[in-house]
Amino acid sequence: MPFSINLKGGDEMILLSDTRQQIGKHSNIERYCRSHGITIVKQKLDVGDYMLPEDATGNPRVSVDTKQDL
């Protein structure tokens, strides 16, 4: 199901991407993010393939784990 993200004026969306993913495996996700102004930052994630950065209290807000044939 497609989703949309509404940002307040001037806000930047950052999506963290796990560095251990296979190169090109999720190129469709990266293409979508680039075309919608979402910055992808690669770093080692403890859980999931993608995550939103921590909120003001230091807690991660959302983690996404992609699975094949699920």
What pLDDT shows up at residue 55?
75
**SS3 (DSSP) at 33:** helix
Provide the domain limits for residue 59: 13-64
Token look-up 């075309």 returns 35
Indicate whether 54 belongs to any domain. yes
What pLDDT shows up at residue 26?
81
How close are the terminal C-alpha atoms of the chain, in Å?
14
pTM above 0.85, yes or no: no
| pLDDT tens digits in sequence order for the chain, 70 residues long | 344 555 555 567 888 999 988 887 788 888 999 898 899 999 999 888 899 888 778 776 788 888 776 5
What pLDDT shows up at residue 44?
92
Indicate whether 5 belongs to any domain. no
Indicate whether 25 belongs to any domain. yes
